[in-house]
Structure 1
Amino acid sequence: MAPGGSTCKEVLESHSTVANYDTAKVVNNITPTKAIVSFGGKHGLSSTNGVHELLECSVCSNLMYPPIHQCPNGHTLCSDCKITAHNCCPTCRYELGDIRCLALEKVAESLELPCRYQSLGCHDTFPYYSKLKHEQHCRFRPFNCPYAGSECSVTGDIPTLVAHLKEDHRVDMHDGCTFNHRYVKMNPHEVENATWMLTVFNCFGKQFCLHFEAFQIGVAPVYMAFLRFMGDDDEAKNFSYSLEVGANGRKLIWQGIPRSIRDSHRKVRDSQDGLIIHRSLALYFSGGDRQELKLRVTGRIWKEQ
């Protein structure tokens, strides 16, 4: 039995939720003071000197960041796996306690690693502890599918997502920078989670997603239209758009900057960053007996000089 340790009653299988890091190998003779590691696979680091084995969590095989924990027998694991393991070492079953592997944390400080999105175009290297923060904002990281009607897990670059939207989600694709859309709903009193089909516009060599849906702000049912840009925030700011809806001599006009699809559909919707039409006004615009929604939304996209 390990000194100061107690045996756990059962072996716990643990699965980390930390993002999976690509494989890497140490490249010699890069600098005299730091080990430079480059990617070459999918499941951790690959090295001739065994450094990768020290920095991989013994449970999930992902790179470990402080605090790095160890059991009395020296088995190391990451913070996420320590929580999931309920203080029981998954390797030897001894109680983990609160032992930090300070020596291993010091080893990590000597490493520099390339971004995990190296294969997608990012060729920068970073100190071990800066790498994770960079990857959360790397401009080469994949985009999430912008389709709002499902919990789609597909990621990729913009051409990949455009093809995916067209082939898998069957979205409407249009060329041009102006649009005139008609939205109809037989029972406008049912607004919860009502989402119309996404429309994608090819404009200025870029793609824009037009969303229209019904939901509630507090207890008030509303309709909302907004545009998202298929690209990053800094490029989205080069464009503006306007939306207009109306009838019977009255109209509502919205003008704004399209949000990047880096922001989720729900985040944009909940921020109310778009054209919002309260149900009573929407029914007034619809005319007739106010028992059916008939809205025509027109819009335009332009590039700022």
Structure 2
Amino acid sequence: MEFDFQEKASSSSDEDEVARHSRAFSKNTISGGSTAGSGGGTAHGPGVFQTSNVHELLECPVCTHSMFPPIHQCQNGHTLCSSCKTRVHNRCPTCRQELGDIRCLALEKVAESLDMPCKYASLGCPEIFPYFSKPKHESQCRYRPFCCPYAGSDCSVTGDIAKLVMHLRDDHRVDMHTGSTFNHRYVKSNPRDVENATWMLTVFHCFGQYFCLHFEAFLLGQAPVYMAFIRFMGDENEAKTYSYSIEVGASGRRMVWEGTPRSIRDSHRKVRDSHDGLIIQRNMALFFSGGERKELKLRVTGRIWKEHQSQESGACIPNLFN
């Protein structure tokens, strides 16, 4: 992200603000040799500041998020972030004075000198970053909470994997299964009626990890299709260490999909729209149903394995339809 630091000469109020923030900055600066318990803050080396007062100076009073250039101020020296400047209709939320286009250059300089901990430090992230590098890291931090992977609803719950597993079981009533194989049967009385519908059939636990099996019906262009795929409850790098296969079939015929589970960092919709899974055309699904094709009876089976076990375990799942 690039920031424009070019600005016209400071007004007298700018100079007052420079002095005010300089005093606050000096008061809260901790020398490189300081340790926890000295002056109410901690330091991890020269230029590392974690005092609460410095952090409060950089907190927008409107959204309470950290401020990044351009940082705006009113004539009385109250500051806020650029995105909130529009939200408050160019009026200072503290004193109601018109904001104008005054930049708080002093506070921007303070921010330039700071090294700060990741905001997910309480979740285990040990990293320290220059202030302006924090947003990029935090957007990719492996300790950031996961979003609920349940498909078919806009669920706002976030948390670690243990919390989400309990949430899926207790709040979404998702079936829980232990083992690396699965066997589901999907039945639809009117297979000609294909609406957008999503299901999370199972969350299953194997190899010390959790995986989500998804199955859904939707229109691919004008063609009604069914799709099955698996997502890994963890980060992408770890997801790549596993493989899975999904199979549908009947009467000695089968379709098999083999792939790598996608992380739940990728949304359900993103995985579906990338077609990264087993896609079954309706006519083929009806063929697998047998009989007079008046009712859809589709059996979805498969398994998961760790990649280093693929050679000894075999790449394909056993035929479970015989």
Q: TM-score, normalised by structure 2?
A: 0.79
Residues 147 and 198 in structure 1, CA contact (< 8 A), matched pair in contact too: no
1:211 correspondence with 2:224: no
Residues 243 and 305 in structure 2, CA contact (< 8 A), matched pair in contact too: yes
Residues 241 and 300 in structure 1, CA contact (< 8 A), matched pair in contact too: yes
Q: How many Å apart are 1:29 and its aligned residue?
A: 5.6
Determine the C-alpha separation between the residues in 2 that align with 1:144 and 1:29.
33
**Pick from 279, 283, 295: which aligns with 2:282?**
279
Change (3 A) 1:304 1:30: closer
Determine the C-alpha separation between the residues in 1 that align with 2:292 and 2:84.
60
Residues 197 and 218 in structure 2, CA contact (< 8 A), matched pair in contact too: yes
Q: Superposition pairs for residues 1-305 of structure 1, below 5 Å?
A: 27-28=41-42, 30-32=44-46, 34-37=47-50, 46-47=52-53, 51-305=54-308
Q: How many Å apart are 1:248 and its aligned residue?
A: 4.0
Partner of 1:196: helix, strand, or coil?
Answer: strand
Q: How many Å apart are 1:121 and its aligned residue?
A: 0.9
Determine the C-alpha separation between the residues in 1 that align with 2:122 and 2:300.
42
Deviations 1:136-174 (A, max 9, x none): 111111111111132111111111111111122111111
Which letter maps to 1:74?
G
Residues 200 and 213 in structure 2, CA contact (< 8 A), matched pair in contact too: no
Question: How many corresponding residue pairs?
Answer: 273
- Structure number with the higher helix fraction is 2
Residues 151 and 199 in structure 2, CA contact (< 8 A), matched pair in contact too: no
Q: How many Å apart are 1:244 and its aligned residue?
A: 1.0
Q: How many Å apart are 1:28 and its aligned residue?
A: 5.0
Q: Identity over aligned residues, as a percent?
A: 72
Change (3 A) 1:218 1:29: closer
Which letter maps to 1:244?
E
Which letter maps to 1:108?
A
Residues 146 and 264 in structure 2, CA contact (< 8 A), matched pair in contact too: yes
Partner of 1:166: helix, strand, or coil?
Answer: helix
Residues 26 and 35 in structure 1, CA contact (< 8 A), matched pair in contact too: no
Change (3 A) 1:294 1:28: closer
Larger Rg: 2
Determine the C-alpha separation between the residues in 1 that align with 2:43 and 2:145.
32
Deviations 1:213-241 (A, max 9, x none): 01122222211000001111111111101
Q: How many Å apart are 1:180 and its aligned residue?
A: 1.6
Name segments (4+ residues, structure 1) moved above 6 Å.
Answer: none
Deviations 1:178-233 (A, max 9, x none): 12211111222332221234301111111111000011222222110000011111
Determine the C-alpha separation between the residues in 2 that align with 1:221 and 1:286.
16
